[in-house]
Amino acid sequence: MSAATVGARPAGSRVLNRIVIYGLLLVFALVYLIPFFVMLVTSLKTMPEIQNGNMLALPKDPTIQPWIKAWGEACVGLTCEGIHGYFWNSIKMVVPAVAISTLLGALNGYVLTKWRFKGHKLVFGLMLFACFIPFQSVLLPMATVLGQFGQLGKVFTNAFGMNLGFGNSTVNLVFVHVVYGLGFTTLFFRNYYEAFPTELVKAAMVDGAGFFQIFRRVLLPNSLPIIVVTVIYQFTNIWNDFLFASSYAGSGDVMPMTVALNNVVNTSTGVVEYNVNMAAAMIAALPTLLVYILAGRYFVRGLMAGAVKG
Amino acid sequence: MAFLEIDRLVKRYGATDILKGISLSVEEGGFLVLVGPSGCGKSTLLSMIAGLDSISEGEVRIAGKRMNELHPSQRDIAMVFQSYALYPNMSVAENIAFGLEMRKVPKAERDKAVAEVAEILQMGHLLKRKPSQLSGGQRQRVAMGRALVRNPQVFLFDEPLSNLDAKLRVDMRTEIKRLHQRMKTTIVYVTHDQIEAMTLATQIAVLRDGVLQQFGTPAEVYNNPANVFVADFMGSPSMNLIPAAVRAENGKTVVALQREGEGDLVLDPGQAGEKLSAVLGKTVLFGIRPEAITDHDGADRNARTLVDAECQVEVVEPAGSDTFVVAHLGGKHVIARMRSDVPVRAGHRAPFTFNMDKAVFFDPQTEQRVA
Amino acid sequence: MTSIVTDRMQTPERATQRKSLRARLQEWLPKIVLAPSFAITLFFVYGFILWTIYLSFTKSKAFPSYTLTDARAYQRLWRWTFESNPPSSWYTSITNMVIFGVLYIVFCLAIGLFLAILLDQKIRGEGVLRPIYLYPMALSFIVTGVAWKWFLDPGLGLEQTMHQWGWTSFHFDWIKNKDYVIYTVVIAGVWQASGFIMAMFLAGLRGIDSEIIKASQIDGASPIQLYRRIIIPLLRPVFLSALIVLAHMAIKSYDLVVALTSGGPGGSAWLPSNFMYEYTFKRNEMAVGSASAVIMLATMSAIIVPYLYSELREKNR
């Protein structure tokens, strides 16, 4: 704790001090909460109430109709089947992408710290730099390559009656997110394993454990903090991604949640149903919000301990 | 042929040699201690025996078999690490059994072996705990148990006691010695603590800067140090090393130590005189351990050459069982070890008795032994 | 002790005979495991960057063309850089980038540090407040954009609310104003990221050795001096990390502009990332889009490479 406790000072000014501090903290808390609050209450109001009422007022007659509509009936472009399909698209994309990139990151971190070879720094440096590139600089070639995958998929379909995943938008997005998430997952695990006692690895070697046995039996069981960080980080990043999603799965029923939400909001047929839009936004935000609320504490702690040096 | 042989071993990182050609050997059942200051290469040497560090040049043989290319797990060794290196996610029993599990020993046999080891180390009640629930001493025991259960040809210890507090360290030292006497397995043990080296070893190897300084029994290393470094490193308080002139007096070779404000203190070097006559007229370093400088009645009665001399006392340090008396000779502080009730006072003169049988002499330039 | 299963002794013997192949595999295994990731990075990151650079020197329009021509795409961007009246899309994008980047970073750092210092005063309820500040980071830019679009909408949002509360002269239509729309992006962006920066600073503050603080108090430093002279200088590494994180997010910001402003009136809220996307995929000017991506990458590299270099070198010691 670095809190500057003030020693001998007049009691009055100390009380005033505390009031100011708490006051400021509460004002900021309100500012951070208001947009969310507005989203929530709006999603529970009826359209007439929205058009005539106050944005900040609590709903007079709360209804979950907008949520039901957003889930099952809202129009995305021309199809009006709600966002549930896109929600599942995102789930189907995010789960494998997070799992694969985390596992690979863990293995890479393990090799880069405990099985060092000449040039390990260069390898890590190149992977690390990849974290920071603006994705615009790879967007177009990836589109071309994914197009080729699609062609390959057609060839496979003709040959074997199935495309083996080539040309499937969800598979494409999983692949893209694994490729461009590797740098971060490797960084997280490398920094964590850097501080992991090497003597344990040596002891396991003397005990006769091989490369994968050491990883599975010694490192992995002791990696929970960094696994939590990596999974949360990757989950939010991939779930929230819009650039790749809109570039490679920007239309039709393969869209992930973020793209669909943007389309719901911008669908201009008929009256704009703000309550449904807000409900859709809430649904899109729910998974990551839950993750942050449930495990945010570990995330920040682990991030500071492992990834971002401070 | 010795059991463990280390033959002209070199460890090279880039252009620098960490170890510069070390040769050592231990008989089966021996207890070899590698001792030296930090950075001398002793831990690297141990790692190379274990197979955790590669060998740049030379050979390690166990029971006549070349080990260089073998994986650590195939060398039939077990190791106790400085940090104990207990797997935090496994219970004590799992930690001990892990090496057997990796070697595909059936579960029932593993359990039996763990129970036996727990019995030997008296830690049956700890088996279900995790390492984080153990005290430092208990962790140390588990680390030893993990090595014992494998029943290897050679045990390797890497500063196993350095993380324990002083009292526990003494207890564990005794325990290790007892285990060795009971099992008679060959041990290679690394430490920077010369007392540990003296108490445990059958053979001591003193290293400095990757070079073997001396290799011998504890008594040899202690009483007949090969050079100034070994003399200074072994023993606590360390050996007095006093500049002295070698002169001929009355046809005999003597050594003379400067004293402040009075004439030189002239000592008869005893048996060393013959060798010293070769460096007549030169300066040598006169080495004598504190316990060889005593009050008159405390001197060793069997010594052949005892020399009495009066010196000015600078400091008196009672240490309970003994009293350390500091005098100023040859420009150095010289420590004598006297009996606890000896009546000396700082600032006064007192009689000192030098046991010259124990004296050793070094060349001040090369720091090698001359007599 | 010797009673413990002597027949086990044979295991290493047997293993020795098989050694050469297994041992060699074990030796190569780490590299084999790392290789796919490294190859993927080399091809899909560095290869693609080269590919993009190549495309920027072609006449690619709606489809990639692979005939190298000249630096015409860069010449156009260069010309547009100075076309301020009426502003070219590129001019708007880069001026927006500067405005957004500077304000976003400065406000996030300032608010983040301020909140962290406030929270570090032994606050009761810290456990409740911290997630409140942090949660916007969990939201996607799209959700943030949707929420703030609604909140800042002149007809339904803040302005109408103020009117209803009696402040009828209140006027806030930045989101529809081409000169001010970029500032709404700043507001939403700062709202989203400042809590995260707060968390970074808070962790940094908690990491400071409490004895240093005790020593400075004994030396008679007032709380303000304590922060100004001791604590904030000690937070230098956190500043650096936060700066890198923010600069990185600022250059990548694309979704927020899309969701909050749909590009703003006449593309007035564009950032270079939006410019790139629009020119590449919507305006069929692939070469120009690629050139703008290359410029973005070069800018990011200028910031990140020295940082990474010093980080990796530091660990060498």
Tens digit of pLDDT for each residue in C106-152?
A: 999 999 999 999 998 888 888 888 889 989 988 989 999 988 988 88
Closest by Cα among B345, B312, B347 to B327: B312
Distance in angstroms (rounded) separating the CA atoms of residues A68 and A82: 9
pLDDT of amino acid C315: 55
| pLDDT-based confidence at residue C8 (cuts at 50, 70, 90) | very low
pLDDT of amino acid A111: 95
Averaged pLDDT for residues A46-50: 85
Is it the case that residue C28 has pLDDT exceeding 90? no
Asked if C2 has any chain B CB less than 8 Å from its own CB, the reply is yes
Phi, psi of A31 (to 5 degrees): -60, -40
* Mutant choice from C2, C3, C5 vs B, greatest count of B C-beta within 10 A: C5
Q: Do B73 and A209 touch (CB under 8 A)?
A: yes
pLDDT of amino acid C18: 47
Where do the domains of chain B lie, and which CATH numbers do they carry? 4-233 (3.40.50.300), 240-362 (2.40.50.140)
Contacts of A243 in chain C (CB under 8 A): 252, 254-255, 273, 277
Nearest to C241 among A29, A262, A310 (CB): A310
Phi, psi of C76 (to 5 degrees): -65, -45
| pLDDT-based confidence at residue A268 (cuts at 50, 70, 90) | low
| pLDDT-based confidence at residue A310 (cuts at 50, 70, 90) | very low
Question: Chains that contact A by 3+ CB pairs under 8 Å?
Answer: B, C
Q: Do B183 and C16 touch (CB under 8 A)?
A: no
Residues 80-119 of chain A with CB under 8 A from chain C are: 104, 107-108, 111-112, 115, 117
Kindly state the DSSP code that residue C167 receives in the 8-state scheme: -
- With helix as H, strand as E and coil as C, how does chain B read? CCCEEEEEEEEEECCEEEEEEEEEEECCCCEEEEECCCCCCHHHHHHHHHCCCCCCEEEEEECCEECCCCCHHHCCEEEECCCCCCCCCCCHHHHHHHHHHHCCCCHHHHHHHHHHHHHHCCCHHHCCCCHHHCCHHHHHHHHHHHHHCCCCCEEEEECCCCCCCHHHHHHHHHHHHHHHHHHCCEEEEEECCHHHHHHHCCEEEEEECCEEEEEECHHHHHHCCCEHHHHHHCCCCCCEEEEEEEEEECCEEEEEEEECCEEEEEECCHHHHHHHHHHCCCEEEEEECHHHEECHHHCCCCCCCEEEEEEEEEEEEECCCEEEEEEEECCEEEEEEEECCCCCCCCCEEEEEEEHHHCEEECCCCCEECC
Closest by Cα among B343, B70, A26 to C123: A26
Q: What is the ipTM of this complex?
A: 0.85
| pLDDT-based confidence at residue A7 (cuts at 50, 70, 90) | very low
Asked if A200 has any chain B CB less than 8 Å from its own CB, the reply is yes
Nearest to A202 among B85, B98, B102 (CB): B85
pLDDT of amino acid C12: 40
Q: Which helix (H) or strand (E) holds C90?
A: helix C89-119
Q: Check: pTM over 0.80? Answer yes or no.
A: yes
| pLDDT-based confidence at residue C310 (cuts at 50, 70, 90) | confident
Q: Do A207 and B89 touch (CB under 8 A)?
A: no
Tens digit of pLDDT for each residue in C277-300?
A: 988 888 888 899 999 999 999 988
Q: How far is C36 from chain A (nearest CA, A)?
A: 9
Q: Which helix (H) or strand (E) holds C100?
A: helix C89-119
Pairing of strands B322-329, B332-339: antiparallel
Asked if A7 has any chain B CB less than 8 Å from its own CB, the reply is no
Q: Do B103 and C8 touch (CB under 8 A)?
A: yes
| Sheet with strand B31-35: strands edge to edge | B77-80, B154-158, B186-191, B31-35, B203-208, B211-216
Q: Do B98 and A217 touch (CB under 8 A)?
A: yes
Tens digit of pLDDT for each residue in A120-170?
A: 889 999 998 888 899 989 998 999 999 888 888 888 888 887 777 787 889
Percent of chain C with pLDDT over 90: 29
pLDDT averaged over 10-residue windows placed end to end, chain B, 371 residues: 89 90 93 93 93 92 91 90 92 93 92 93 92 92 92 93 90 92 93 93 95 95 94 91 90 87 85 86 92 89 88 90 90 91 88 92 92 82
Tens digit of pLDDT for each residue in C162-179?
A: 888 888 778 888 888 888
pLDDT of amino acid A167: 78
Distance in angstroms (rounded) separating the CA atoms of residues C254 and C250: 9
Q: How far is B150 from chain A (nearest CA, A)?
A: 9
| pLDDT-based confidence at residue C221 (cuts at 50, 70, 90) | confident
Is it the case that residue C302 has pLDDT exceeding 80? yes
Closest by Cα among C209, C187, C175, C172 to C111: C187
CB pairs under 8 A between A and B: 59
**What residues of chain B have any CB closer than 8 angstroms to a CB in chain C?**
69-71, 73-76, 100, 103-105, 109, 112-113, 116-117, 120, 148-149, 151, 182-183, 185
What b-and-e string marks burial along B334-359, b requiring 16 or more CB atoms within 10 Å of the CB? bbbbbeeebebeeeeebebbbbbbbb
Asked if B104 has any chain A CB less than 8 Å from its own CB, the reply is no
Nearest to B83 among A199, A209, A218 (CB): A199
Instruction: Collapse the DSSP code of C217 into the 3-class scheme (helix H, G, I; strand E, B; otherwise coil) and give the result.
Output: helix
A299, A231 Cβ separation under 8 angstroms: no
Is it the case that residue A9 has pLDDT exceeding 80? no
Residues 6+ apart with CB under 8 A from A161: none
Is it the case that residue C7 has pLDDT exceeding 60? no
Distance in angstroms (rounded) separating the CA atoms of residues B128 and B131: 10
Nearest to B85 among A200, A209, A222 (CB): A200
Residues 6+ apart with CB under 8 A from B134: B92, B126, B142
Contacts of residues C251-254 at CB distance under 8 Å and 24 or more positions apart, as own/partner, are: C251/A134, C251/C97, C251/C101, C251/C296, C251/C299, C251/C300, C252/A134, C252/A135, C252/A243, C253/C100, C253/C141, C253/C185, C253/C189, C254/A136, C254/A242, C254/A243, C254/C141
Asked if B267 has any chain A CB less than 8 Å from its own CB, the reply is no
Q: Do C41 and A265 touch (CB under 8 A)?
A: no
pLDDT of amino acid B10: 94
CB pairs under 8 A between A and C: 298
Asked if B105 has any chain A CB less than 8 Å from its own CB, the reply is no
Instruction: Collapse the DSSP code of A79 into the 3-class scheme (helix H, G, I; strand E, B; otherwise coil) and give the result.
Output: strand
Q: Do C12 and B75 touch (CB under 8 A)?
A: yes
Q: How far is A31 from chain C (nearest CA, A)?
A: 8
Nearest to B102 among A199, A207, A222 (CB): A207
How would DSSP label each residue in A236-262?
A: HHHHH--HHHHHHS-SGGG--HHHHHH
Q: Do A208 and B102 touch (CB under 8 A)?
A: yes
Is it the case that residue C5 has pLDDT exceeding 80? no
Is it the case that residue C37 has pLDDT exceeding 90? yes
Lowest mean pLDDT among A25-29, B64-68, B283-287, C310-314: C310-314
Closest by Cα among A143, A184, A233, A128 to C301: A128
pLDDT of amino acid B186: 95
| pLDDT-based confidence at residue C20 (cuts at 50, 70, 90) | low
